[in-house]
Amino acid sequence: MTSPRKERQALRDVKRVVVKIGSSLLTNDGRGLDGRAIGSWVDQLVGLLARGIEPIVVSSGAVAEGMVRLGWHERPTELHELQAAASVGQSGLVQCWESHFSRHGIRSAQVLLTHDDLSSRRRYLNARNSLHTLTDMGVIPIINENDAISTKEIKLGDNDTLGALVANLMDADALILLTDQTGLYDADPRKNPHAKLIEEALADDERLDAVAGGGGKLGTGGMATKLNAARLAARSGAMTIIASGREKDIIPRLLEGERLGTLLKPADEPLKARKRWIVGQMQSRGTVVLDDGAVRHLCDNGASLLPVGVKALRGRFRKGDLVTCVDQQGRRIAKGLINFDRNEAERILGVSTDHIKECINGEVAHHGELIHRDDLVLI
Ligand SMILES: Nc1ncnc2c1ncn2[C@@H]1O[C@H](COP(=O)(O)OP(=O)(O)O)[C@@H](O)[C@H]1O
Ligand SMILES: N[C@@H](CCC(=O)OP(=O)(O)O)C(=O)O
C-alpha cells in the first residue's frame, strides 16, 4: 500500500464526482426519509458546484422508503412487492432531493436506469448524452435503478454497481460511496468490535475479498458490492472512497484530501471508451472455455481469441452478445463480444483461422476471430 498523503492529494483535482448514498442513511435506518441529512448532503453538493466540481447523485432508498409509507416492517422478497414499494418510495425520495436543491435555486432531475439502458451500445451512448446535457445546464441528476419495472433478468441489483457504471459512463474522476460505516474495515465491524479501518488500498488487491462482507437489513450487498464497484470504477481510472454519510461535511472534506474513510485506487491505465462499456456489462450470455495457450495469448499478448484456442462453449448466445471466457479450471479470464452465434461457433471450435470459411460455408467469412481484441477485456 502506497503513501496515503500523495494519493489523497489527487482528490483535490477531481472535476466530476459520482456520490452514491445508501438506503439506511437516506431513511434514518428504515424509520423514514431523513430530510435533514438529505438537506445537508445537498448543501455540500451545492458547495462543490461553486468550486467548479460537477456532482452526480446515485440515490438508493426507494424500497426502504416505500416500505415505511406502506407500513411494511419486513423487506418483501416477492418481485411485484419490491416493485410496488420502490414506486411508492421513489416519488417521495426524489421530491425530497428536489425541494432541498430548490432552496439553493438549483434544479435536479430524476433519472431511472435499467440494465438494458447500459447494455446496448446505442442506449449507453444515449444515456451518456442525456446526462451530459443535464450536467452542462447545471442540473444535478438524481439517479436510481428503475426498480418499478426491473425484473430479475434485467436488474443491475445494487446501486454500488450502478454508481460505478455511472462513473464509467460519465468519465468521473471519483466515486464516493456514502454508507453507515466509516469505511471498509478488516472485518465487519457489526460482528467484530476489534475490526480496524483500512485507510488506503488498491481496488484490485485480492486480500480485500476476504474482508468485505454482506450488508445490513436495508442495504443491498454490503461491502462486497462496494469493493466490486471500486474495481469497476478503477477500470475507467476513477478513485473510489467508502465513507460515512453521517460525518459532518463529509463530501467536501474528502475532496480536500482529508484522511477519512477508505480510498480504493486504480492500479492500471484506464481502459478506452468502448472497453469501458464492455467491462460494465453485467449479463453474460454464454461461456467460452479456453485452452492454456489461448489463456497465455490473451493475458500476455493482448491477442484476439481465435477458434483454435477454444475447448468448449456453453449458453445460447447470439452474434454480438457478451460472453465470459474461462480457463479449463473455470477461472474467469476475460469478457468480450462474440462474433458468431452459438451454432456457428460450435462448427469452428478448434479450427485454424484458414479453415473457418469451409466449416461455415463462407456464411460468416469476414471474421477470423471468435472475439476481436478490441472487443475483449481481461477481468
Ligand atoms: N469489512 C467490512 N467493513 C465495514 N462494513 C462491512 C464490512 N463487511 C460487511 N460490512 C457491512 O456492510 C454494511 C454496509 O453495506 P449496506 O448495508 O449495503 O449499506 P448501504 O445501504 O449504505 O449500501 C455495514 O453496515 C456493515 O455491516
Ligand atoms: N434501487 C434500490 C437500492 C438498491 C441498493 O443498492 O441499496 P443500497 O445497498 O442501500 O445502496 C432502492 O432504491 O431501493
Distance 280 CA to ligand 2 centre (A): 18
CA–CA separation, 29 and 139 (whole Å): 29
Q: List all residues 6 or more positions away from 213 whose beta carbon is below 8 Å from its beta carbon.
A: 187, 188, 191, 222, 223, 224
Q: Name the pLDDT band for 5 (thresholds 50, 70, 90).
A: low
Indicate which residue's Cα is closest to atom 23 of ligand 1.
22
**Could you give the domains of the chain?**
4-276 (3.40.1160.10), 284-378 (2.30.130.10)
Q: Name the pLDDT band for 267 (thresholds 50, 70, 90).
A: confident
Asked if residue 367 has pLDDT above 60, the reply is yes
pLDDT at 360: 63
321 torsion bin: left (phi>0), alpha (psi -120 to 50), beta (else): beta
Closest ligand, as measured to the CA of 25: 1
pLDDT at 368: 79
CB of 219 closer than 6 angstroms to any ligand 1 atom: yes
Q: Name the pLDDT band for 24 (thresholds 50, 70, 90).
A: very high
Closest ligand, as measured to the CA of 217: 1
pLDDT at 1: 42
221 is annotated as contributing to ligand binding: yes
Mean pLDDT of the residues in the chain: 92
CB of 189 closer than 6 angstroms to any ligand 1 atom: yes
Query: What is the helix (H) or strand (E) element at residue 152, kind and residue range?
Result: none
Asked if residue 39 has pLDDT above 70, the reply is yes
Q: Name the pLDDT band for 115 (thresholds 50, 70, 90).
A: confident
Asked if residue 2 has pLDDT above 60, the reply is no
Q: Which ligand 2 atom minimizes the distance to the CA of 158?
A: 6
Distance 284 CA to ligand 2 centre (A): 23
Q: Which residues are bridge partners to 185 per DSSP? A: 197
Closest ligand, as measured to the CA of 262: 1
Give pTM, 2 decimals. 0.89
CA–CA separation, 225 and 143 (whole Å): 18
CA dist list (Å): 165 to 69, 228, 236, 240, 289: 30, 11, 10, 12, 27
CA dist list (Å): 44 to 63, 100, 270: 25, 11, 29
Sheet with 239-244: list strands edge to edge. 108-113, 140-145, 54-59, 16-21, 174-179, 239-244, 262-265, 200-202
Distance 369 CA to ligand 1 centre (A): 43
- Checking ipTM against 0.85, whether it exceeds it is yes
Q: In degrees, to the nearest 5, what angle opens at C-alpha 325 toward C-alphas 322 and 327?
A: 170
CB of 179 closer than 6 angstroms to any ligand 1 atom: yes
60 is annotated as contributing to ligand binding: yes
CB of 261 closer than 6 angstroms to any ligand 1 atom: no
Distance 194 CA to ligand 1 centre (A): 16
pLDDT at 359: 66
Distance 241 CA to ligand 2 centre (A): 18
Q: Which ligand 2 atom minimizes the distance to the CA of 59?
A: 13
Predicted confidence (pLDDT) per residue in 59-87, tens digit: 999 999 999 999 999 999 899 999 999 99
Closest ligand, as measured to the CA of 67: 2
Distance 202 CA to ligand 1 centre (A): 19
225 is annotated as contributing to ligand binding: yes
Asked if residue 269 has pLDDT above 90, the reply is no
**C-beta of residue 8 within 8 angstroms of C-beta of residue 1:** no
159 is annotated as contributing to ligand binding: yes
pLDDT at 358: 67
pLDDT at 118: 86
**C-beta of residue 205 within 8 angstroms of C-beta of residue 196:** no
Q: Which ligand 2 atom minimizes the distance to the CA of 162?
A: 6
Predicted confidence (pLDDT) per residue in 158-175, tens digit: 999 999 999 999 999 999
Q: Name the pLDDT band for 364 (thresholds 50, 70, 90).
A: very low
pLDDT at 339: 92
